[in-house]
């Protein structure tokens, strides 16, 4: 009698169609997971962008007295949309006054070292807090859009002060962006110093949210465009030439990574004569008075000696 062969295992009877369906199911699961992650990242990026409209306030921990300035007064004035702004005014002793505009998420103390330099030479100085900053009234912070109203009110205030015949201005970062836009239209500003300004708000937001490429950049820009910010109208690079024939000084830190690469040269190329570019060696974003105190002082005083 013939003995049947031994069966060592079960025969695989599953068809290619079965495995194809498994592959499709796995692919769809992975795709759904990827889409869910993408949606989360997009929503998170949009939320972060909207949150920039309400940065935490930095309290005022000093006064001009801490910088050796004894002659100053607390002042308040109102922007064209009714927002009340607070600041300090140092009276002019030489017929000129300089408006100082701080950067995003800071307050007037940021430029107190500059105020000390200028006040020591007899310049009047206005240090003020932008809307939503320092001691000024609550309002959304718009990266240089609505802040133009604040700067315009600051120039109005200084122009009304006794003994002021000439007005200059220094702006840093967001303050510089705001200054460039206002100076292009307001001929009362006789000399302008723009420090660490980004060329366009859209480009700056894209640069700051570049970690995940379009996945984080597009939602961030879309969220701001849907808010109160006119993103595409904040383009200070297009305003620089209109400051001419008034003198313009552009200052950037050699190691500044808060603005897109090539910003300093692009801004200088967009400016019209008389314009000057100073790149502070070894400086990052803003610390010019610490890295090059003597040269910074000399350049500032020489520039405003008009």
Would you say residue 156 lies in a domain? yes
Cβ neighbour number for residue 299 with a 10 Å cutoff: 18
Would you say residue 14 lies in a domain? no
pLDDT mean over 170-196:
98
What are the two backbone dihedrals, phi and then psi, of residue 303, each rounded to the nearest 5 degrees? -65, -40
pTM of the prediction?
0.88
Would you say residue 120 lies in a domain? yes
Would you say residue 267 lies in a domain? yes
Would you say residue 147 lies in a domain? yes
- Give the residue numbers spanning the domain of 182: 52-199+235-303
For residue 280, what is the domain's CATH number? Answer: 3.40.50.1820
What are the tens digits of pLDDT across the range 107-148? 999 999 999 999 999 999 999 999 999 999 999 999 999 999
Would you say residue 13 lies in a domain? no
Would you say residue 252 lies in a domain? yes
Packing angle of the helix pair 147-159, 174-183 (nearest 10 deg): 60
Would you say residue 207 lies in a domain? no
Cα–Cα distances in angstroms (integers) from residue 61 to residues 109, 112, 172, 219, in the given order: 8, 12, 20, 37
Question: Distance between the two ends of the chain, CA-based, in angstroms?
Answer: 121
Q: What is the largest CA-CA distance in the chain?
A: 127
- Tally of domains in the chain: 1
pLDDT mean over 45-62:
90
Contact 160, 187 (CB under 8 A): no
pLDDT reading at 244 higher than 70? yes
Tell which wins on pLDDT, 215 or 22.
215
Cβ neighbour number for residue 249 with a 10 Å cutoff: 21
What are the tens digits of pLDDT across the range 64-115? 999 999 999 999 999 999 999 999 999 999 999 999 999 999 999 999 999 9
């Amino acid at each position: 009698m013939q003995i049947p062969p031994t069966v060592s295992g079960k025969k695989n009877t599953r068809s290619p169609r079965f495995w194809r369906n498994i592959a499709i199911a796995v692919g769809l699961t992975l795709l759904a997971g990827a889409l869910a992650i993408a949606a989360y990242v997009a929503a998170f990026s949009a939320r972060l962008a909207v949150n920039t409209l309400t940065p935490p306030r930095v309290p005022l921990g000093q006064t001009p007295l801490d910088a050796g300035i004894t002659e100053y007064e607390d002042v308040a004035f109102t922007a064209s949309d009714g927002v009340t702004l607070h600041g300090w005014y140092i009276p002019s002793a030489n017929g000129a006054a300089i408006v100082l505009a701080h950067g995003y998420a800071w307050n007037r103390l940021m430029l107190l070292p500059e105020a000390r330099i200028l006040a020591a030479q007899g310049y009047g100085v206005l240090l003020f807090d932008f809307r939503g900053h320092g001691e000024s009234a609550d309002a959304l912070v718009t990266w240089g859009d609505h802040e133009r109203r604040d700067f315009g009110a600051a120039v109005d205030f200084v122009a009304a002060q006794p003994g002021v015949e000439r007005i200059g201005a220094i702006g840093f970062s967001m303050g510089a962006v705001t200054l460039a836009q206002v100076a292009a239209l307001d001929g009362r500003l006789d000399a302008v110093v723009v420090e660490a300004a980004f060329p366009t708000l859209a480009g700056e937001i894209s640069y700051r949210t570049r970690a995940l490429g379009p996945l984080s950049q597009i939602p961030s820009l879309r969220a701001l465009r849907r808010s109160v910010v006119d993103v595409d109208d904040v383009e200070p690079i297009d305003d620089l030439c209109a400051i001419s024939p008034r003198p313009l000084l552009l200052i950037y830190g050699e190691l500044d990574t808060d603005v897109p690469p090539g910003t300093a040269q692009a801004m200088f190329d967009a400016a019209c004569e008389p314009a000057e570019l100073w790149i502070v060696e070894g400086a990052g974003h803003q610390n010019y008075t610490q890295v090059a105190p003597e040269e910074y002082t000399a350049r500032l005083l020489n520039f405003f000696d008009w």
